[in-house]
Amino acid sequence: MKQKEFPGQKIICLNRKASFNYFFLELLEAGIALKGSEVKSIRDGKVSIADSYAVDKGGEIFLINSHIPLYKQSSYNNHDPKSDRKLLLKRKEINKLIGRIQQEGLTLVPTRLYFQKGKVKIQIAVGKGKKNYDKRQVKKNKDWSREKARIFSNSKK
């Protein structure tokens, strides 16, 4: 599967499971408050946001359950790999997200982590969870499109 190219962005990791488990209603870009050892570990590309999500804590949005491994060259001032990380958003965006999460029962799911002009950014999706029958329909459509492409390629030979 070919990834989309975005100028000036270096994609670090994607959360492919998110598009299978959620309907995306809105996409937002946010910065992350990180320590130096976290940024260096992210530059190595060994980060995971597969099971992570964002929540409201005291009027701020935090990324929970993201895994940034320890940086080997950092000594005593290394970071905690599973700590909560604050997302940097404007107050208006935070209030809007908090309202949507509490009233409509939606979830904040990270979809990808990337560098943009040397800064670590994360794309957050406001999503609604899919039911099992929605997931089965997505699988059927993918299988059918794969089979259709196989049939057309065999017919051209």
Domains in the chain, number: 1
Q: Could you report the per-residue pLDDT of 72-116, keeping only the tens digit for each?
A: 777 777 887 788 999 999 999 999 999 888 888 788 999 999 999
Taking only the tens place, the pLDDT of each residue in 118-139 is: 899 999 999 888 888 778 888 8
- 155 lies in some domain: no
Model confidence at 3, pLDDT cuts 50, 70, 90, reads low
Residue with structure tokens 């009027």? 59
CATH of the domain at 54: 2.40.280.10
pTM of this prediction exceeds 0.85: no
Cα 74 to Cα 21: distance, rounded to the nearest angstrom: 36
What is 24-41 written as a DSSP string? EEEEEEEEE---HHHHHH
Task: Give the separation between CA 130 and CA 6, rounded to whole angstroms.
Answer: 28
29 lies in which domain range? 10-130
- By the 10 Å C-beta count (0-12 exposed, 13-18 middle, 19+ buried), 16 is classed as exposed
State residue 86's pLDDT score. 93
Q: Give a yes or no: residue 135 inside a domain.
A: no
